[in-house]
Amino acid sequence: MGAPRELPPIGSYVEVIQGRDAGLVAVVLAHEGDRFVRIADGDVRRVEKPKKKNVAHVRRIHRMAEGIAQKLAEGGRVTNAELRHAVRMLMEAQTANGQEREQGGT
């Protein structure tokens, strides 16, 4: 057994690397114990039934869904539309960054 992995913060983006949802980008909604997180993307995995994932099976994307993190910290509810919007914004930002690099930008 390796060293235990650190739990990604609530509101952070993760990519699933193991299981039937491999490749899915989602947001961490909750921690469960010291090994599991609950994730949802608002589309495939909805807020009403977030997926429980072992932290060893997700890769943290070092960005935060700030609005969602703040709402969850205040004890508010997050909607599926808000999650879909947050994931879409991340994907668009990553696509834009990739295109800038291809064109020689910084």
In degrees, to the nearest 5, what angle opens at C-alpha 6 toward C-alphas 16 and 44? Answer: 25
- Please report the pLDDT score of residue 96 as a whole number: 84
Q: Domain 12-101, CATH 2.60.40 — does that match? A: no
- Please report the pLDDT score of residue 102 as a whole number: 64
Is the predicted pLDDT of residue 65 greater than 90, yes or no?
Answer: yes
* Distance of alpha carbon 19 from alpha carbon 38, whole angstroms: 14
Q: What is the mean pLDDT of the chain?
A: 91
Kindly report, residue by residue over 13-64, the tens digit of the pLDDT: 999 999 999 999 999 999 999 999 999 999 999 999 999 999 999 999 989 9
Question: Would you report the helix, strand and coil content of the chain in percent, each value rounded to 5?
Answer: 30, 25, 40
Helix or strand holding residue 53 (H, E): strand 51-54
